[in-house]
Structure formats: C-alpha cells, structure tokens
Amino acid sequence: MADIKKLVSMLKELDDLLTGCMRCGMCQAQCPVFAQTGRETDVTRGKLALLSGLSEEILKDPEEVNEKLQRCLLCGTCEANCPSGVKVTDIFLRARAILTGYLGLPPTQRLIFRRLLTNPKLMNNLLSLGSSLQGLFTKDADSVIGTSCARFNAPLIADRHFKKLASKSLHSQTPHKDTPPGKSGLRVAFFPGCVTDKVFPQVGQAVLKVMEHHQVGVFMPPNQACCGIPALSSGETEVFDNLVRQNLDLFAKGKWDYLITPCATCTATIHELWPKYYGDKMDAVRVKDLADKVMDVSQFLTDVLKVAPKEAVTPTKVAYHDPCHLRNTLKITAQPRQILAAGGKYAAAELPGGPSCCGSGGSFNIKHYKLSDVIGRKKAESIAATGAKIAATSCPACMLQISDMLSKSGHSIPVKHVVELYAETL
Amino acid sequence: MIRDALKNEFQRIVGKDNVMTEPAELHAYSYDSAVLDQTQPAIVVRPENSESLGQVVRLCNENGLKLTVRGAGTNLSGGTIPHPGGVVCLTTALDKVLEINEEDLYAVVQPGVVTAKFAAQVAAKGLLYPPDPGSQAVSTLGGNVAENAGGLRALKYGVTKDYVMGVDFFDVNGELIRSGGKTVKCVTGYNLAGLMIASEGTLGVFEKLTLKLVPPPAAYKAMMAVFPDVMDASRAVAAIIANKIVPATLEFMDNFTIRTVENFRKAGLPVDAAAMLLIEVDGHPAQVEDDAAKVESICKDNKAISVRVAKDDAERNAVWQARRDALPALARVKPTTVLEDATVPRSKIPAMMQALDKIAKKYDLTIGTFGHAGDGNLHPTILTDKRDQKEWHRVEAAIDAIFEEALALGGTLSGEHGIGLAKSKYLKNEYGVGAINYSRRMKSVLDPNNILNPGKILGPLLA
C-alpha cells in the first residue's frame, strides 16, 4: 500500500473544489440514496465532509471513506440543484480515481477492466458464448417484459429479474454500416453502447431504421469499445484512456456530421467526461471535436432533423422515465417526449412525484443491490400509478433496471426505448 | 470512546442497524450548516419509534452522556454540533404525519417530518401551514420548533412559534410530558409548549408536535420595486407599514446582491439599482387589488424608479426566483459564506444598512445584504475564504460589530437562526446577566446532569 502522505497530498488537490460546499444540506432533498436511509454518509454533504476529513487527516482510514463514497448513483441530481454550484460529479470521480489508485481494485474487477473491457473483440466473443449458455441457468420470469431469473441459487444474480443477453447481438446482426447521406444531406456516426449492443439490439435496429427513413447516412464501424464510464467511476483512469483512444481512432476513419447514441449514459460520458478526464492532452482537439458532435438520438431527431410531435386522436399513454444523465447532466427532457409523440400514436404520461433516479447507477446496482432495489421499486410503483400500458425511457441501463423492478413487483408493463416506439410508427 | 456495554444497550433499544460508531460515520455528524469548528460524537443512534426515543434519552441521562438531537442538520447557529464524545440522536426515521385535521385546523406530526413535505400534504387538503424557512425543502419540523424558525411569510403570518399548539416531549428521565392541546384556546398549566419553542434541544426531546393550520389566501399579487438609493427603499418599507398595509412578504436586496443574482441567472434585473423590494400582498381579491395599488403608489412616492406588478403566475414566479437566487448566487462568489440574521425594529432598517456599509468598509470585506425587510430581519452575508486566516479574523471582528450595532439600534441577535454555539457569547449583551442566571437555574433543575445539548444558548455551564 502506498504512503498515506501521498494520498493526503493528492486529496489536497480537491481542496478548492471541496471548500465550495457550505454544508447547507440542501442535497438531502435531492439524493435518492439518502431518501431511503436518512444517513449523512449517504448524502453528498456527508461524503464531501468525509473527503475533507481524509485530506485533513482527521479520518485515517481511506478504505472506510471509499466504501461510503461508492454508495452514490452518480445521478447528478444534487449537483444540478446545489445552491453553491459544487462540482459534485467532478469531485467524486477524481476522488474515486485517487482512492482506487491508492487502495487498488479487487483483482477480479481489475482483470475484467484491464483485460476484457479494453479488448472489444474478446469481450464480444465471450459474451456471445455466454448468451448461448445462459438458458441453462435461467428461467422466464415475465414474458411481457421479457425478463428471466436464476434457475438455481446464484449469489451474483440474487433475486433479479434480468433481461438476458440477446441471442444475437447488434454487432452480429449488423457487423458494420457505411451508407452515404440521402436527401437529408447528413451522415451520422452511430455509437450504440454496450447495453444496446448486447441486450437490446432491437433499440439499435430502431435507430438504423429511423435514420434510413429520414435518409441519413450511417457510419457504424465494427469493434467499438465501451464509452468508459464503468472504468472511470471505479477510478480506473488508465483503462478509461485506453477505451477513449480506441474509439477516437475508430471514428476518425469515417466522415460524419454528428455522433449519435441511444444511451443517455454514453452521450453524457462522451460529451462531458471525455474532454475532462481523457489523460492524453495531446489529443485534446480530437476529443473536443467528438464531444461537441455527440447527441442523444432524440435530440438529433428534434433539434437537427426537426422531427415534430404529431397530434394523435386517441394516443396511447406511455410512462416516460427521465434518465438522470439526460435530465441532470445534459438538460435534455423535452426531446424524448417529442419523439414519443412524433409517430402520432403515443403521448408521454408524467410520473407522479416528478422525475427521479431509477436506482440503477451502473455498478451501484451490483455493489448495493438492496438499496438499488428499494429505489427502483418506488420507480416501478410510480410507473404503474400512471395507468400506462407501456413504459419508455432513453437509456438502456435504465431499461434494464426498470424491467427488473416492474417484473418483480408484478406489473407486466413492457419497457421500451422511445426510439423503438417511434420507429414502430414509421 | 463509548463502552461496549453501552453500545450494546443502544443497539438493544434502536436495533443494530441504527447505531453508528465507525469513525467515518461519527465524522459525518460532527458539523451542521454553521461555519464553526467540528466536534465528533462517540455514537450516533437513530430511533424508529417514540418509545425507543424515550429510552435513548433515559439511557443517556443515567450514564451522563451528552445528548444532541439532530434532524436535517441545517441550522446556522451550531445548534446541532454535538458535544465532543457525546451522543447524536437522529430524528430522520421519526417522519410520520400522524393526523391532518380539516375540521379543527390542526395537524399532529413526529419531529422528523420534513417541512416542505408537510406543507405540501397540508396544501393538498386545501389548507396552509405558513412558516416557510429557506431550508424548508430539507429542514425538519422538530428543528423548526426547537430553533423557532422564521421565513419569507413571517411579516404577515408570523414564525413557527405562532403555529405550535402543543409539544409532547421526553424529559431527561425519559418520561413523556404532554403540553398544549388541540383547542384554539388552552391555558391549562404552565405554557410548557412555549418553553420548548426555541429551547434548541436544551430542555427536552420532542416526541410529537401539534401544529396550527390556516385557510390559504384567496388571491395574491407580487411586485418588484426598484430604487436609486437604499435609503429610499428603506423609507418605502417603513411607509408601507405605517400606512397599515401588512404584505405577506416584503423582501430587500442590495445592489451587490442584485448584480450577483443577475450575473448568475441573467434574468434582466436592474444592475444599476441601489436596492430592490420584492413585495407580495395576499388575502381577499378586492383587498389584494386595493393593497397592491397602494403599495405601488407608496413606492413611487418614495422615489422608486419602477414598480413592476406581476400579471400572472409566470411573472410572479420570476419575482420570487430573483429572491430565491440570492443565496445561491452569493454562495458562488467565494468559498465560505457566512449568513447572519441580526434583526432590528423596522424603522431602524436605514440605520442598519448604513452601519453594514461602514462595517464592510472598515474590515475590508464583501458583504451582500438581502432579507426580510418587512420584519427587520436582514441577512448580511459575508463572502470570504475561511482558509485565509487574516481575512477570517476580520470576519470575526465584523460579526461582533454587526451584533453590537443591531443591539444598539434596539434589535436582537437572532431573527430566525437561533443562538446555538455561534452567538451564546453575545447573549448577556442583549438580556443581561439576570436572564442568563434565571435560564441556567431552570436548566439545572430540569436537566441536573446537563446532558441536553450542553453549551447551546447559555454557553458552558459552571458546575
């Protein structure tokens, strides 16, 4: 283990960011984790105090602080509502990198990040093997939502009702694409993201269908790497850099106007975090160029292609869940609703109690499943309360979580991506 | 360190999951919103029902453990900073609204209920709970009563104490004491509920609160008046009151605050204005029209450059957004934000504004002033960086000067934040030694082991 003095001096770099917190505690009104536990270590103000305590050597156990720090969904709701404008996400990601550098990750997690995540080909092969074997270990849970659960006692799966890996991933259905711009005169680079590729290929196909319909050319290179958020939020900055570089090189091979993704998390990561955290500063121009051009698919459709909502005579109500990364980080809330209505068949139903995190939070769901479950069940209840027969969102990670929660709560409400519902009307 | 046997006792009372003793957990309860030094408790407990709350109090008393009750920890006077090595008792699990009575206009709540959530539940029944402290989105009703919190509507509707009908509380022995009631009139026995209000956790531990509700106003109208001179704005405030008009809200912002808010929101505020008044009148529609017209002409008579009356809810919201932005905007200027609440009689606002200006110059500090001009409760907000020790000493001296000035003008140390640790040293300047001695004697009888939030309000007790 490295020298604690070194850890303290690294944490001191956060000092300017940390002192901005005036400890007013207004984050308590926003935090989905605090809402469940009522504990100060679970809310932003408390976590910032712990980091200050560690940097001032009042607290001496980095492991304990790290453990508390991990109990955060990185949903960004506190930051979006902080009176003092504290850069919470920035502080947490930097602190996680510092602490992971100091404490190290558990060996299996490190192996997955370093060997698997950075090697898209290997990961694709392994997961397609997994996809063909998963039936042996799982059984159907809810046929409408399309969830499964464990056939035998499996600690990692617990009582989850999960979406299985797709029998054929998007990249095996459509290994690559390189079409010229049609009437629109536009060409987009398409970054489906891992969850779309491996669990919801139909979302990827919906995007391709929509682009074809609007005569937009598509550049989709094979062997795309992960956007890097799992590595970055676990503090694995080298892995993050590796993934960003792979993607930069890959997308440099084509000419295109916008980079689009159907994943709120990927969009937010590329737009906000790539320019901020990519370590190779020599590459800053390439990163910035890409970050400036990335768009959520609904945003592209409404803001660029000017796809407008269509009045429906008797629209079907669709409960819409705002993914945190669109709502808090990118302030995109109107566009997905407009795309829902654009086909002239659906209308967005608002969730009682307003927008809130679904409790997924990427690896938070794995590390703190119980908490994730309580937060997610509330989300499922609020979706059910709208009386809508379909739930929709703009993030495949949220789709996974909401499917699990609806299925377990006995609400047979299918979960779709807004672009799927739009594509269906074309 | 707390003994294992005692830790086990606490675990038996509140359950294992509700007892915290890890260093990180203790550290997270070593502060509140006040800019004061942190002190760590030895144990944090979180009772889930009133029975275990009472048992916690008794156990603390039997073992001489200093007890600080904590809701959201938002108070600005250090009232929830624990005694070193003491016990912190959280009310976050005691968050049930037990009753909202629409026939007799009262509600019964547990102390950990969040103020804004309660207000929303009351509003859903077509009633109003008027106290609206700035921290209402997170602050708890127990904390509001313990600190006697104010708010924007205090001018017309009063502060928390005006809505407390009863407080049921545990004494140090864990015995449940009932006080007040559900009737509009109630003069049975000592006014123990009154004694509990603003006692900052030093006399008892709240178990249940009975709160008064009122019918909401039928109509309201908001307006924004811009002044070329602070004195003109101050005179307008005095004139509105003198003309027998009591707006629901009458807020003030100085030029520095206006500029900072405009910089933050870009809402088109008049950055050249020396001061702004944000006013809302409410009540019967006809009276609202009448009052609004009068307020407008009074402002103009007092040299207002412009008076903008909100035509609809969107415009009304724009007026109040400017006010809501005051603290967030100021808080972003410098790392440390010291928000004071020295309060003066309304007629003395011009004098207080002049004094604040002098103090800022004398100590070479940035002070933005906004606040509740209508009730004399200003919030001079010092923007600084606590890490700059030299400047911090000047800040401390300036705070002393602010309170000295407020008292000299016949004002008070605290309009709505409470005394806590932050202002106990000034207490004798306002009330004299007699009041302190009387209070200490009372405390020593009710809390002979001095376990209830020791050091708050009265300073360290000499045995």
Q: Using one digit for the tens of pLDDT, what is the confidence trace for A34-84? A: 999 999 999 999 999 999 999 999 999 999 999 999 999 999 999 999 989
pLDDT at A94: 93
Contacts of A400 (CB under 8 A, 6+ apart): A162, A163, A195, A199, A360
A408, HSE (Cβ side, Cα atoms, 13 Å): 21
Identity of the residue numbered A128: S
CB B82 within 8 A of CB B39: yes
Q: How far is B182 from chain A (nearest CA, A)?
A: 30
CA distances from A333 to A311, A380, B229, B375 (A): 19, 20, 43, 40
- A50 contact residues in B (CB cutoff 8 A): 24, 27-28
Q: Which residues pair with B209 in a beta bridge?
A: B109, B167
Asked if residue B153 lies in contact with residue B130, where contact means CB atoms within 8 angstroms, the answer is yes
Structure tokens at A128: 């397609």
State the pTM of this model.
Answer: 0.93
Q: Could you tell me if B46 lies within 8 Å of chain A, comparing CB atoms?
A: yes
For the record, the structure tokens of A362 come out as 């990427």
Report the pLDDT value the prediction gives residue B207, as an integer from 0 to 100.
98
A348 in helix, strand or coil? strand
Among A20, A50, A84, select the one facing B24 at the smallest CB separation: A50
Q: Do A84 and B331 touch (CB under 8 A)?
A: yes
Q: Tell me: ipTM over 0.90.
A: yes
Contacts of B20 in chain A (CB under 8 A): 39
Half-sphere exposure for B379 (CA within 13 Å, toward CB): 25
Q: How would residue A111 be classed by pLDDT, with cut points 50, 70 and 90?
A: confident
In three-state secondary structure terms, A321 is: coil
Residue with tokens 């049921």: B168
Tell me which residue in A22, A38, A50 faces B337 most closely, judged by beta carbons: A22
CA distance B262 to B270: 8
CB contact under 8 A, B28 and A19: no
Round to whole Å and give the CA distance between B344 and B407: 8
Q: Establish if B138 touches chain A: CB-CB under 8 angstroms.
A: yes
Give the whole-angstrom CA distance, residue B109 versus residue B188.
Answer: 22
Q: Measured between CA atoms, how close is A33 to chain B, in angstroms? A: 14
Residue A148 to residues A164, A203, A412, Cα–Cα distance (Å): 7, 19, 13
Distance (Å, whole) CA A404 – CA A145: 9
Mean pLDDT computed over A71-100: 93
How many residue pairs from chains A and B have C-beta atoms closer than 8 A? 87
Q: Verify whether the Cβ–Cβ distance A19 to B386 is below 8 Å.
A: yes
Confidence band (pLDDT; 50, 70, 90) for A105?
Answer: confident
Which residue, A249, A263, A375, A399, is CA-closest to A319?
A399
Contacts of A19 in chain B (CB under 8 A): 335-336, 385-387
State the Cα–Cα distance between residues B375 and B154, nearest whole angstrom: 7
Q: Which tokens sit at A347?
A: 């209308």
- Alpha-carbon A351 to chain mean position: 20
Averaged pLDDT score across all residues of chain A:
92
CB contact B41 to A (< 8 Å)? no
Tell me how long chain B is: 463
A253-263 per-position pLDDT tens digit = 999 999 999 99
Burial class (CB in 10 A: 0-12, 13-18, 19+), B130: buried
**Phi/psi of residue B106, nearest 5 degrees:** -150, 165
| Exposed/middle/buried for residue B295 (C-beta within 10 Å: 0-12, 13-18, 19+) | buried
pLDDT band at A137 (very low <50, low <70, confident <90, very high): confident
Quickly tell me which residue has 């930069």 as its tokens: A248
Tell me how close the Cα of A59 comes to any Cα of chain B, in angstroms. 7
By the 8 A CB rule, do B196 and B183 touch?
no
Q: Is the dihedral of CA A377, A379, A381, A383 positive or negative?
A: negative
What percent of chain A has a predicted confidence (pLDDT) above 90?
75
Q: State the Cα torsion A255-A260-A263-A267 to the nearest 10°.
A: 80
Chain B from 100 to 119: CB within 8 A of any A CB: 114, 116
Can you spell out the DSSP letters for A279-307?
S-GGGHHHHHHHHHHEEEHHHIIIIIS--
Residues A29, B328: C-beta atoms closer than 8 Å:
no
Contact A28 B138 (CB under 8 A): yes
Residues of B with Cβ-Cβ distance to A58 under 8 angstroms: 27, 38
Q: Is the model's pLDDT at A380 over the cut of 50?
A: yes
Rounded CA-CA distance A323/A268 in Å is: 11
Largest CA-CA distance found in chain B, in angstroms, rounded = 72
Instruction: Pick the closest to residue A297 from A250, A339, A343, A254 (CA basis).
Output: A339
On whether the CB atoms of residues B60 and B106 are closer than 8 A, the answer is: no
Check A25 against B73: CB less than 8 A apart: yes
B73: chain A residues, CB-CB within 8 Å: 25, 40
Alpha carbon A142 to its chain's center: 24
Long-range contacts of range B311-318, CB-CB < 8 Å, 24 or more positions apart?
B315/B222, B316/B220, B316/B221, B316/B222, B316/B280, B318/B267
Quick check: B333 contacting A, CB < 8 Å?
Answer: no
Is the separation of the CB atoms in A268 and A232 below 8 Å? Answer: no
Q: Within an 8 Å CB–CB cutoff, is residue B96 touching chain A?
A: no
Give the angle B410-B199-B79 at the CA atoms, nearest 5°: 90
- Min CA distance, B326 vs chain A (Å)? 10
User: Is the separation of the CB atoms in B26 and A53 below 8 Å?
Assistant: no
DSSP class of B461: P
Of A309, A287, A289, A311, the closest CA to residue A298 belongs to A309
> Within chain A, what is the greatest distance between any pair of CA atoms?
68
**Contact: B24, A40; criterion CB under 8 Å:** no
Starting at the earlier edge strand, list the strands of the sheet with B106-109: B97-101, B106-109, B205-212, B164-170, B176-177
Q: Decide if B337 touches A, using CB distance below 8 A.
A: yes
Cα B368 to Cα B329: distance, rounded to the nearest angstrom: 10
Do the beta carbons of residue A252 and residue A264 sit within 8 Å? Answer: no
Name the minimum distance, in Å, from the CA of B83 to any CA of chain A: 17
Interface test with A, best of B20, B29, B30, B31 (most A CBs within 10 A): B31
- CA-wise closest residue to A23 among A41, A46, A55: A46
Mean pLDDT per 10-residue interval, chain B, length 463 residues: 89 97 97 95 98 98 97 96 97 98 98 97 97 95 97 94 98 97 94 97 98 97 94 91 94 94 89 95 96 96 94 90 89 92 89 93 95 92 94 96 96 94 94 94 96 94 53
Residue pair B147/B417 in contact (Cβ under 8 Å)? The answer is yes
CA gap A345, A414 in Å, rounded: 16
